Amino acid sequence: QQQVKQSPQSLIVQKGGISIINCAYENTAFDYFPWYQQFPGKGPALLIAIRPDVSEKKEGRFTISFNKSAKQFSLHIMDSQPGDSATYFCAAQATGNQFYFGTGTSLTVIP
């Protein structure tokens, strides 16, 4: 059973456009929702994380939006650049060390 559902599986965006990746969950015990970025041949790197008592968090061109009632959260990448081309994973953590990745989104930003 997939604890965190992620969509789309792949995404192609023009340079300068907005990339949007969505995730959904059911377990209300989750208390941290991070996003990771992974380039080919590298390990994932933490991009940004949000707690469920915050509706939005921004770091540079990356924004997480969180909708607690809908149990959904999303990553927006503003002014997308070719260097943003990577695989993005959402994740969720519950107290007691339960940690789940989403299925991943392969983002390609075309010049």
Partner 1 sequence: DTEVTQTPKHLVMGMTNKKSLKCEQHMGHRAMYWYKQKAKKPPELMFVYSYEKLSINESVPSRFSPECPNSSLLNLHLHALQPEDSALYLCASSPSPIRTYEQYFGPGTRLTVT
| Contact residues: partner 1, CB under 8 A | 32-34, 41-46, 49, 87, 89, 91, 93, 95, 97, 99, 101-104, 106
DSSP string, 41-89: TS--EEEEEE-TT-SEEEETTEEEEEETTTTEEEEEESS--GGG-EEEE
Which of 43, 83 has the CB closer to partner 1? 43
Q: Least Å distance between CB 68 and partner 1?
A: 17
Which of 77, 90 has the CB closer to partner 1? 90
Q: Least Å distance between CB 70 and partner 1?
A: 21
Q: Least Å distance between CB 79 and partner 1?
A: 26
Burial of 86 (0-12, 13-18, 19+ CB in 10 A): buried
105-110/56-59 β-pairing: unpaired
Which of 32, 65 has the CB closer to partner 1? 32
Q: How far apart are CA 91 and CA 78, in angstroms?
A: 21
Q: Least Å distance between CB 52 and partner 1?
A: 13
